[in-house]
Amino acid sequence: MATKVMMMKSASTSFFALIFIFFLLTTSGNAAIKAGGDFMLDDLCEKASQTWSGNCGNTQHCDRQCINWEKALHGACHVRGGKHMCFCYFSQC
């Protein structure tokens, strides 16, 4: 009986350890999947959009324009120097 209880505790501990590791890997916030491949956000090159004019108030529009017009991987609105600007993200500068 004692060995059965010990085996259950061991299995329970292993299960929770695996769940914890899975949680850490999925919530790291550092990795993303885009355009069918993996890339790290830290490796992206950020550039102000060359085709956007005016204030950037809609990140989805900025993203679409960066991808379609500037061949970027991603685009997003950010405030820099008090201005709402569209930034495009490329795999290389």
- The pTM score is 0.56
- Contact indicator for 59, 77 with CB cutoff of 8 Å: yes
- Contact indicator for 53, 5 with CB cutoff of 8 Å: no
**Domains in the chain with CATH codes:** 1-41 (no CATH), 44-93 (3.30.30.10)
DSSP 41: G
Rounded-to-integer distance, Cα 90 and Cα 93, Å:
7
pLDDT tens digit sequence for 62-81: 999 999 999 999 999 999 99
pLDDT tens digit sequence for 1-45: 656 555 556 656 666 555 556 555 555 544 444 444 455 556 889
